[in-house]
Amino acid sequence: VRLVESGGGPVHAGGSLRLTCTPRGFTWEDYNIGWFRQAPGKEREPVLCVSDYDGVHYYEESVRGRFSLSKDNNKMTAVLQMNNLRADDTGTYYCAAAWEAREGLPALSAYDIWGQGTHVTVSS
State residue 81's pLDDT score.
Answer: 98
For the cut 90, the answer to whether the pLDDT of residue 24 exceeds it is yes
In whole angstroms, what is the distance from residue 21 CA to residue 60 CA?
Answer: 19
For the cut 90, the answer to whether the pLDDT of residue 101 exceeds it is no
Q: Are 82 and 17 in contact (CB under 8 A)?
A: yes
For the cut 90, the answer to whether the pLDDT of residue 91 exceeds it is yes
In whole angstroms, what is the distance from residue 36 CA to residue 114 CA?
Answer: 10
Residue 55 banded pLDDT, cuts 50, 70, 90: confident
The percentage of residues in the chain with a pLDDT greater than 70, rounded to a whole number, is 100
Query: Cβ contacts of residue 115 below 8 Å, gap of 6+?
Result: 2, 3, 4, 5, 21, 94, 95, 96
Q: Across residues 37-44, what is the average pLDDT?
A: 96
Q: Across residues 96-117, what is the average pLDDT?
A: 94
- DSSP 3-state assignment of 88? helix
Residue 93 banded pLDDT, cuts 50, 70, 90: very high
Identify the burial level of 20 via C-beta atoms within 10 angstroms of its C-beta, where 0-12 means exposed, 13-18 middle and 19 or more buried.
middle
- DSSP 3-state assignment of 68? strand
In whole angstroms, what is the distance from residue 123 CA to residue 15 CA?
Answer: 10
Residue 57 banded pLDDT, cuts 50, 70, 90: confident
Residue 26 banded pLDDT, cuts 50, 70, 90: very high
